[in-house]
Structure 1
Amino acid sequence: MDDMNQSWSQQRFSRRQAITAGTGAIVTGLAGCISSEAESNDDETVAVASFFSFYDFARNIVDGTPIRVENLVPTGLHGHGWEPNASVTKDIIEADAFVHVGTGFQPWADRAIQTLEDDNVDTQLINAREGVELVDLAATLDPEEEGVGEQQGKDPHFWLDPRRAKTSVDNITEGLVELAPDQESALRNNAETYKSETLEQIDQDYQAIFDAAERDVIQLAAHNAFQYIGVRYDATMHPLVTNLAASGDVKPSDITDAKEVIEENDINYIANGVFEARKPAKQLLAETQVEAYFPVTPYAGVREDWVENNWGYEEIAYNINMPTFEAVLGNKQPEEVGPDGWAEEWRNFE
Structure 2
Amino acid sequence: MKFPQDSSGGRRWSRRATLAAGGSLVSMGLAGCLGGSATTGAGASGGDDSSDDGPVVVASFFSFYDFARTVADGTPLTVKNLVPTGLHGHGWEPNASVTRDIIEADAFVHVGENFQPWADRAIQTLKDDDVDTQLINVREGVELVDLAASLDPEEEGVGAGRGRDPHFWLDPQRAKQAVDNITAGFVELAPEYEDTFRENATAYKTEVLDRIDSDYQDIFDRAERKVVQLAAHNAFQYIGVRYGVEMRPLVVNLAASGDVKPSDITEAKRVIDENDIRYIGAGVFETRKPAQQLVAETAVEAYFPVTPYAGVREDWVEQEWGYEEIAYNINMPTFEVVLGNREPEAVGYDGWAAEWRNFE
Out of 257, 282, 306, the position equivalent to 2:292 is 282
Measure how far apart 1:305 and its partner are.
Answer: 0.2
Percent sequence identity is 79
What corresponds to 1:76 in structure 2?
86
What corresponds to 1:46 in structure 2?
56
Amino acid at match of 2:106: D
TM (normalized to structure 1)?
0.87
Amino acid at match of 1:178: E
Conserved in 1, the CA contact under 8 Å of 2:160 and 2:166? no
Conserved in 2, the CA contact under 8 Å of 1:103 and 1:148? no
Over 6 Å off, 4+ runs: none
What CA distance in whole angstroms lies between the structure 1 residues aligned with 2:191 and 2:205? Answer: 21
What corresponds to 1:67 in structure 2?
77
What corresponds to 2:202 in structure 1?
192
Measure how far apart 1:229 and its partner are.
Answer: 0.2
Amino acid at match of 1:151: G
Conserved in 2, the CA contact under 8 Å of 1:219 and 1:240? yes
What corresponds to 1:156 in structure 2?
166
Amino acid at match of 1:196: T
What corresponds to 1:55 in structure 2?
65
Out of 141, 145, 163, the position equivalent to 1:131 is 141
Q: Which is bigger in relative contact order (C-alpha 8 A, separation at least 6)?
A: 2
What CA distance in whole angstroms lies between the structure 1 residues aligned with 2:335 and 2:228? Answer: 8
Alpha-carbon displacement from aligned partner over 1:230-260 (angstroms, at most 9, x marks no partner):
0000000000001101100000000000000
Q: 1:191 to 1:148 in 2, by over 3 A?
A: farther
What corresponds to 2:355 in structure 1?
345
What corresponds to 2:302 in structure 1?
292
Measure how far apart 1:152 and its partner are.
Answer: 1.6
Task: Select the structure of larger CA radius of gyration.
Answer: 1
Amino acid at match of 2:344: P
What corresponds to 2:175 in structure 1?
165
Secondary structure, aligned partner of 1:275: coil
Out of 178, 183, 186, the position equivalent to 1:176 is 186
Conserved in 2, the CA contact under 8 Å of 1:148 and 1:156? no
Alpha-carbon displacement from aligned partner over 1:152-183 (angstroms, at most 9, x marks no partner):
20000000000000000000000000000000
What corresponds to 1:104 in structure 2?
114
1:289-328 map, 5 Å: 289-328=299-338
What CA distance in whole angstroms lies between the structure 1 residues aligned with 2:142 and 2:66? Answer: 18
1:27-42 map, 5 Å: none
RMSD: 0.9
What CA distance in whole angstroms lies between the structure 1 residues aligned with 2:104 and 2:300? Answer: 50
Amino acid at match of 2:191: P
What corresponds to 1:32 in structure 2?
none
What corresponds to 1:271 in structure 2?
281
Amino acid at match of 2:74: G
Amino acid at match of 2:103: I
Conserved in 2, the CA contact under 8 Å of 1:147 and 1:156? no
What corresponds to 2:241 in structure 1?
231
Secondary structure, aligned partner of 2:142: coil
What corresponds to 1:212 in structure 2?
222
Alpha-carbon displacement from aligned partner over 1:110-147 (angstroms, at most 9, x marks no partner):
00000101111000000000000000000111111134
Conserved in 2, the CA contact under 8 Å of 1:48 and 1:55? yes
Q: 1:270 to 1:149 in 2, by over 3 A?
A: closer
Measure how far apart 1:150 and its partner are.
Answer: 6.5
Unaligned runs of 5+ in 2: 1-51
What CA distance in whole angstroms lies between the structure 1 residues aligned with 2:259 and 2:341? Answer: 31
What CA distance in whole angstroms lies between the structure 2 residues aligned with 1:288 and 1:224? Answer: 22
Secondary structure, aligned partner of 2:181: helix
Identify which range, 148-157 or 95-104, moves more after superposition: 148-157
Conserved in 1, the CA contact under 8 Å of 2:53 and 2:76? no
Unaligned runs of 5+ in 1: 1-41
What CA distance in whole angstroms lies between the structure 2 residues aligned with 1:148 and 1:48? Answer: 25
